[in-house]
Amino acid sequence: MQVLSFGEIEQRYDGEWVLIAYTELDENLKPIAGEVIAHSIDRDVVYDAIGHRGDRGVAIECFVKVPEDMAFIL
């Protein structure tokens, strides 16, 4: 797998959910770089892939554009 910067991942997987095996985190524990394990426009596909991470730390990022009149509750 290829290590990409967070910006490269965001650009390459625009509009998708992404499971990242991070190789570097910033002081706020946000991925700076990592390997993409799974990506999809379907969130469930990415969540299902968590079992394939091995012993690596992972983060899930959502690069889906949210319409102005909509909000997420997490």
Q: Is residue 33 part of a domain?
A: yes
Helices (H), 6-74: 6-12, 43-48
For 1-54, the pLDDT digits (tens) are 799 999 999 999 999 999 999 999 999 999 999 999 999 999 999 999 998 888
Which residues fall within 8 angstroms of residue 33, CB to CB, at 6 or more apart? 3, 4, 5, 6, 22, 23, 24
**Does 48 fall in a domain?**
yes
Write down the pLDDT at residue 60. 96
Joined tokens for residue 49: 């892939």
What CA–CA distance (Å, rounded) separates 6 from 2?
12
Residue 32 is given by DSSP the state E
In a domain, 72, yes or no: no
**Token duo for residue 51:** 């079992």
For residue 46, being part of any structural domain is answered with yes
* Res. 72: pLDDT tops 80: no
20-24, 28-32, 56-60, 65-69: the lowest-pLDDT one: 65-69
Residue 27 placed within a domain:
yes
**Residue 53: predicted pLDDT:** 83
Domain that holds residue 45: 3-62
The confidence score (pLDDT) of residue 31 equals 95
